[in-house]
Amino acid sequence: MLVLSRKVGQSIVIRDDIVLKVVSVDGDTVKIGIEAPKNISIYREEIYDAIKNENKGAVLQEQVLDLRELTALLEKKNDSQGNQDA
């Protein structure tokens, strides 16, 4: 991790299109302004973590549904094969 010291009003540039600027410092709270292209998503860490967890839950739910559908198809196939043998 790169650690840089900046004062209020100073900036950090990332690539050619992202600028982080220290807007204010009040006790242990630092306000940072971010200039970036609209196609770049910017989240606070706790929001990003919540989104990742929600996405993982959705994928797991989808996998459970797919497994249920697969089980139903296999049962249907086994039933139809059982009827053909009779």
Residues in the chain with pLDDT < 50? none
What per-residue confidence (pLDDT) applies to 55? 79
What per-residue confidence (pLDDT) applies to 72? 80
pTM: 0.59
Q: What is the 3-state secondary structure (H, E, C) of 23-73?
A: EEEECCEEEEEEECCCCCCCCCHHHHHHHHHHHHHHHHHHHHHHHHHHHHH
- Give CA 86 to chain center in angstroms: 53
What per-residue confidence (pLDDT) applies to 81? 75
What per-residue confidence (pLDDT) applies to 51? 86
Whole-angstrom distance, CA of residue 15 vs CA of residue 18: 6
What per-residue confidence (pLDDT) applies to 20? 97
